[in-house]
Chain A
Amino acid sequence: MRAPTVRRPQATAGVLVVLALVLGQWLHQQLPERADASRPFEEPVAVGGTASLRSGDVEVLSVDGAPSVARKNGPVLLSPGLFVAVEFTFTPRGESSSLRYGELRDNSGRVLPFFGSSGRSSIDCVGRLVDRPTRCLAVVEADPASLAGAGLAVAPSDIDERWDSMAVVDLGIDADDVTEWSARKQFLDLPQAGVMTRTEAP
């Protein structure tokens, strides 16, 4: 005589699937979906300080500005406003990585993103060697009236900066700096970005 088929395990599996769906739906409703939930993890840093990001360390070396700038062997760029040049080092951690995204946070609360390693506003920061500081440069063109009290944020991805860490640099610019930079007649010679040697490394 054949034993009757036991249906209970199948029924239990069905109930568990339904419960899992219910749980998933509940979790989906509970987890925050607002933009601020996916905002980058901001690491504040001032000139001379170091910010520790997920992908490496950022040390801010200097901030300077002028109405005209020139890269090594490059043309002189003239601005109707001001160029601000921020020199910093980036030391990749664990694997090679770069910083490809920059945004000026001006004194009106505006966020002005820039990317790309050439042009009037640019970020040049390719970290090829792990644990070796790379000399980096961010240049941003801006309205002089927006600069006193402005900050600069740099992050690894120029496509999507969400969820990742981001260094937020207090540029320490005041009205006197803006006046002094605006009066400059000579173009600002921009430092060259690239891998630093051990002796150059701070």
Chain B
Amino acid sequence: MTGAEDNRLRRWVLRLSRTLTLRQALSAVAALVVLASGLFGGLATARTSGPTELVAGEQVHAEPFDVTVERARWLTDLGLEGETPRGRYISVVATIKNTSDHPVYRSEIRDTMRLHGLDGVFRRESGKETGPSEAATPRVLVVADASELASAAPGLEYEVVFLWEQAEYMPVPEDATVAVAARTWRQSTLDDQYLWFDPTVTHAGSIAIEKAKEES
């Protein structure tokens, strides 16, 4: 910058400081910052927080799955050999399709869905500890062969049942909120392995729980 330009800038700042109050100057700077942030997306519509509405029968995508929750039922007998019920079963039938390029394993499959709003739900596959359904991990069985879905291969769509057990002393539920969580495929900061991390509830909706038709 030349000396003449320097003097001109100094005179301009001096004149501005005489005509503007400090408050006006700060407001002008703040306005400029807000306008400038628009260049980087600062003025874009903010994303609404919270999960998107989940409706039975409508497909949603929660990475890595396309998930369609079909129906929810309660029943007292699964009809499986060697099964000893601890209470009543609450089931959510859904189709899930692994749309990623990686297999998804048991714990991630189980964590895909949670029930909200019920109490007296057995927290794990075995044991007697009960609590709120939000903290209870479901089993996931393949409807076609009643085997556990321990891994979901890429590109395949499974009809599955997410299965919880609720203590019999609790009243029969009429509905529950089904929450579906998405995950991110990323490298572990601990051991550099790529795995599915960061479960985040992306969809949730209330589903009626009806009594299942049981074979006598």
Interface residues of A (CB under 8 A from B): 68, 75-81, 108, 110, 112-114, 116, 118-121, 141-143, 145-146
Are A75 and B155 within 8 A (Cβ)?
A: no
Do B154 and A141 have beta carbons less than 8 Å apart? Answer: no
A79 to B147, CA, bound (A): 11
CB distance from A117 to the nearest CB of B (A): 12
The answer to whether A78 touches B145 (Cβ under 8 A) is: yes
Shortest CB distance B82–A (Å): 11
A141 to B: closest C-beta gap in Å: 5
One of A68, A120, A142 near B149 (C-beta < 8 A): A120
Residue ID in chain B nearest A76 by CB atoms: B145
B142 in the interface (beta carbon within 8 A): yes
Tell yes or no: B56 within 8 A of A by CB: no
> Is B42 part of the contact surface with A, judged by Cβ < 8 Å?
no
Per-position binary interface string of chain B over residues 133-160, scored 1 when its CB falls under 8 Å from any chain A CB and 0 otherwise? 0000000001011111111011111100
Which chain A residue has the least Cβ–Cβ distance from B193?
Answer: A160
Interchain residue pairs A-B with the least CB separation, the first 8: A143-B155, A119-B150, A78-B144, A78-B145, A81-B156, A80-B156, A110-B101, A141-B153
| Beta-carbon nearest neighbor of B95 in chain A | A80
- In contact, A112 and B144 (Cβ under 8 angstroms): no
* A146: B residues at CB distance < 8 A: 154-155
Are B155 and A145 touching (Cβ within 8 A)? yes
CB <8 Å contact, A112 and B145: no
- Looking at the assembled complex, report how far the CB atom of A107 sits from the nearest CB atom of chain B, in whole angstroms: 12
Q: A76-B145, A78-B145, A114-B103 in contact; A121/B155 too (CB < 8 A)?
A: no
Q: Report how far A145 CA is from B153 CA in the complex, Å.
A: 12
The answer to whether B153 and A78 have CB atoms under 8 Å apart is no
Task: Report the separation of the CA atoms of residues A89 and B53 in the bound assembly, to the nearest whole angstrom.
Answer: 52
Q: Are A80 and B145 interface neighbours, CB within 8 A?
A: no
Q: Which residues of chain B are within 8 angstroms of A110 by Cβ–Cβ distance?
A: 101-102, 154
| Apart from A110-B102, A120-B147: 6 A-B pairs, beta carbons within 8 A | A68-B145, A76-B145, A80-B156, A112-B153, A143-B156, A146-B154
Chain A CB within 10 Å, residue with most, of B102, B103, B148 = B103
Provide the bound-state CA to CA distance between A178 and B102, in Å.
21
Q: Give Cα A83–Cα B33 distance, bound, in whole angstroms.
A: 60
Per the bound structure, the CA–CA distance linking A80 and B147 in Å amounts to 13
Do residues A75 and B146 form an inter-chain contact, with CB atoms below 8 A?
yes
Q: Name A110's closest neighbour in chain B (CB-CB).
A: B101
A112-B103, A113-B103, A114-B103 known; A80+B158 contact, CB < 8 A:
yes
CB distance from A4 to the nearest CB of B (A): 56
**Contact for B102 among A108, A112, A118, A120, CB less than 8 A:** A112
Q: With A114-B103, A141-B156, A143-B156 in contact, do A78 and B150 touch (Cβ < 8 Å)?
A: no
B155 near A120 with CB under 8 A, answer: no
Contact indicator A112/B155 (Cβ below 8 Å): no
* Minimum distance in angstroms from A160 CB to a CB of chain B: 9
User: Taking the nearest CB of chain B, how far is it from the CB of A93, in angstroms?
Assistant: 29
Tell me the bound Cα distance from A143 to B155 in angstroms. Answer: 6
Would you list 17 pairs from A and B whose C-beta atoms are within 8 A, ordered by A residue?
A75-B145, A76-B145, A78-B142, A79-B156, A80-B144, A81-B155, A110-B102, A112-B103, A119-B148, A120-B150, A120-B153, A121-B151, A142-B153, A143-B154, A143-B155, A146-B154, A146-B155
The smallest C-beta distance from B26 to any residue of chain A, in angstroms, reads 51
Decide: B155 and A114 in contact? CB cutoff 8 A.
no
Closest Cβ of chain B to A71, distance in Å, is 11
Which A residues are CB-close (under 8 A) to B144? 78, 80
